[in-house]
Structure 1
């Protein structure tokens, strides 16, 4: 069983629900557009890293928690991979835009019996932070790699720590993280441990990087957070850290040219499954 440094398993989510059930439901109006705002921000960074890791023609890829499918389709259209199996618990957004080589698989990757085969690339973005046992999920995904295959995982890093200035924005962001944990179990506290979890899962050449997109008025990033807060208002207010007026004030910060703040970062970690040594004939 994979463990953090010091022998402690990452705690994982504690909330009673799941992402996509009481919050961020795919069937809600505008949810696909909200998700795509995030894709506009992060897809270029994700794709550049995948290309640097050698993802390209002939590869079979698994995209877990594929959402609206922007990464999966980019792998097929621009990297020229042979196939992408795109997994999500709800595949309505994937099925809405079929692409040659894209297989949409409706499944819970954390559930028993998930065994889609072996892949040259396994990728998941903003998924493990919503799951009950991220350490076990790293193990499970690493086991789906062919020898030499690469696992690439991205999740959010909270930068509104206690040392950050107290502003309407940081107050709202802290309320969001706590509210999401209490309702759907989202937990980003373990994310900096992701590279160590990959090492513990037996992967080699493990490394990581953090991308922090700027908060610019009218930008996809600012619009994404405003839309996310609107959907999570009840959970945020329920923490007692912020009220409705405070959320509205935080949204005004996102649209102010005078505001200077840090969006949550995206930590991306990667590692490769070892290639067994060849036996001399």
Structure 2
């Protein structure tokens, strides 16, 4: 996944993929794929509903293991996909015709050449500083008549949500990741406004919340994510290691009664007359 650029906005704990969620750590590709299993069908359905298909040139930012990139080629029949990530080891493992891989930091000026009919980024911007500036930059990569599609996490847990092993650890995770690598989902509901401010018209958004069913991909994704961010959670003082272990067991049990963090997807069109 593409992460933040060096500079004053980078937290002391480093960037995504360094202190937490390191790609060289055993099983990290599998963790990413659990998330893909939970969300890819929703993502592909939305992209196809937006008209993505034959002849389209696509940019997939923070492409991870490349599941969306490959499905765009295999199922939507697009002409090409440029998959960009700061670390491309998972993308390079499974090359396919039409898929170009570029190791680059999307926050660096000029890191991606050209313009595209589709620019897509999922679970990327939530980990980055200077988000409004970056949204404007991504919008500038969209061909007139094309579309920018951004997806990130939203958490439906509120102050009135009953405290359970799940809610306690999820709250600690968001706080720990924000302190460690700068992850911030609080601004994600403002996507429609930010895309409109970037000159895209019309814009719209939707939210998908996958069910937390024992053994499901999303439940396994969260359990694995908590394991890998355990140190960041413990540093908050909100939970101890026993609480994390209890939450992982809770996810795998029939006693689990919780709402997963969801995925907000927002899209905006580059006006056809713009050059």
In the alignment, structure 1 segments of 5+ residues that lack a partner are 1-11
Tell me if structure 2 keeps the 8 A contact 1:82–1:101.
Answer: yes
Equivalent residue in structure 1 for 2:84, among 66, 83, 87: 87
Cross-structure match for 1:257: 254
Tell me if structure 2 keeps the 8 A contact 1:62–1:87.
Answer: yes
Q: Deviation of residue 145 (structure 1)?
A: 0.6
Do residues 35 (structure 1) and 45 (structure 2) align? no
1:120-159 alignment to 2 at 5 Å?
Answer: 120-159=117-156
Provide, for residues 51-85 of structure 1, a one-character-per-residue CA deviation record: whole Å limited to 9, x for no partner: 00000001100000000000000000111100000
Q: SS at the partner of 1:79? A: coil
Equivalent residue in structure 1 for 2:102, among 96, 100, 105: 105
Q: How many correspondences in the alignment?
A: 267
Do residues 247 (structure 1) and 244 (structure 2) align? yes
Q: Deviation of residue 261 (structure 1)?
A: 0.2
Equivalent residue in structure 2 for 1:115, among 102, 105, 112: 112
Do residues 96 (structure 1) and 87 (structure 2) align? no
**TM-score (normalised: structure 2):** 0.95
- Following the alignment from structure 2 to structure 1, what is the Cα–Cα distance between the partners of residues 225 and 252? 15
Q: SS at the partner of 1:238? A: helix
Provide, for residues 140-184 of structure 1, a one-character-per-residue CA deviation record: whole Å limited to 9, x for no partner: 100001100000000000122212111111000000000000111
Equivalent residue in structure 2 for 1:63, among 57, 60, 63: 60
Q: SS at the partner of 1:98? A: coil
Give the RMSD, CA atoms, in angstroms: 1.4
- Following the alignment from structure 2 to structure 1, what is the Cα–Cα distance between the partners of residues 261 and 139? 26
- Following the alignment from structure 1 to structure 2, what is the Cα–Cα distance between the partners of residues 113 and 206? 26
- Following the alignment from structure 1 to structure 2, what is the Cα–Cα distance between the partners of residues 93 and 76? 17
Q: Which moved more, 1:38-47 or 1:162-171?
A: 162-171
Cross-structure match for 1:184: 181
- Following the alignment from structure 2 to structure 1, what is the Cα–Cα distance between the partners of residues 112 and 102? 11
Cross-structure match for 1:193: 190
Q: SS at the partner of 2:145? A: strand
Q: Deviation of residue 136 (structure 1)?
A: 1.0
Cross-structure match for 2:6: none
Do residues 227 (structure 1) and 234 (structure 2) align? no
- Following the alignment from structure 2 to structure 1, what is the Cα–Cα distance between the partners of residues 10 and 260? 22
In the alignment, structure 2 segments of 5+ residues that lack a partner are 1-8
Tell me if structure 1 keeps the 8 A contact 2:13–2:19.
Answer: no
Question: After TM superposition, which residue ranges in structure 1, 4 or more long, deviate above 6 angstroms?
Answer: none
Q: Deviation of residue 113 (structure 1)?
A: 2.5
